[in-house]
Amino acid sequence: MPVRVFDDASQLAQHTARHIAALLQTKPDATLCLASGSTPIATFHALVELAQTGHANVDQCTFVGLDEWLGFGPDDQGSCSFYLYRDLFEPLRLRPEQIQYFDAKAADLVGECRKIDDFIRSRGGLDLLLVGIGMNGHIALNEPGTPFTNYCHVVDLAEMTKEVGQKYFATPTELNQGITIGLQHLTEAHEVILMATGKGKAAVIRQAVQGPVTEQFPASIIQQHPKAHVWVDEDANS
């Protein structure tokens, strides 16, 4: 599986933002699903810059939320949606109807899953799915062992995810479960970008692209997708 290596995280972010802008030019009403987490933040800033300078048009597209910690929402510092709203949705001045996100505080979580599944289906699948990779190989909150054929679902978090997830919060925070896009949505997405930066991601990127394709290492699913890109910086390629 080919991996494209950029000199640094900033070049990767600029390239990815331009790629999204180009997609929006050919398909202005595209359905995009972009990960939160630390890795894509520079891409969000680059995309906002393109939009603010008239080089990306986000007026007609729709953003679908990738995942969320159960019990958290956009107003909770550290949640997935908190960062997406702060770094992308608000600076882009999106209209509410351009954002489709799980309500991870809802009583009916299965209903939330079906809501997002139905929405994605109604749009003919995701035009672009941009994901990072977890330190245990997870994609979104699809933890090791999750069937590749799952659509949206509620998950019990892996211990590593609970630990690593602390970095998003200002104070120690109990994380137990999440709600997430399933890997079947990745399979059905028209295009997928897996991005990673930093030396800490080198081993998991290697396993994702060179290891066996297995549900025990969710990111390995990327090898099966006909239009997947793995874009990393020098450090993550090391």
Residues annotated as part of the active site:
67, 136, 138, 143
Considering the rule CB under 6 A, would residue 38 count as an interface residue with ligand PGA? yes
Q: x-or-dash pattern for ligand PGA, window 120-149, by CB under 6 A? A: ------------xxx---------------
Length of the chain: 238
Choice between 65 and 134, CB closer to ligand PGA: 134
| Closest distance of CB 66 from ligand PGA, Å | 9
Which residue's Cβ has the minimum distance to ligand PGA?
37
The CB-of-171 to ligand PGA minimum distance in angstroms stands at 18
CA dihedral over 154, 93, 37, 209, signed as positive or negative: positive
Shortest distance in whole angstroms from residue 4 CB to ligand PGA: 18
For ligand PGA, which stretch binds (CB under 6 A), given 31-39, 53-61, 185-193, 207-215? Answer: 31-39
Q: Which is nearer to ligand PGA, 45 or 55 (CB)?
A: 45
Interacting positions 150-169 with ligand PGA (CB under 6 A):
none
CB 101 within 8 A of CB 68: yes
Residue 208 beta carbon to ligand PGA: minimum distance, rounded to whole angstroms? 11
CB-based contact 88:48 (threshold 8 Å): yes
Q: Is 172 exposed, middle or buried (0-12, 13-18, 19+ CB in 10 A)?
A: exposed
Q: How far apart are alpha carbons 229 and 4 in whole angstroms?
A: 8
What contacts 130, CB < 8 A, 6 or more positions away? 16, 20, 32, 33, 34, 35, 40, 43, 192, 193, 195
CA distance 107 to 185: 24
Nearest CB to ligand PGA, comparing residues 63 and 83: 83
Point out which residues bind ligand PGA (CB under 6 A). 37-39, 132-134
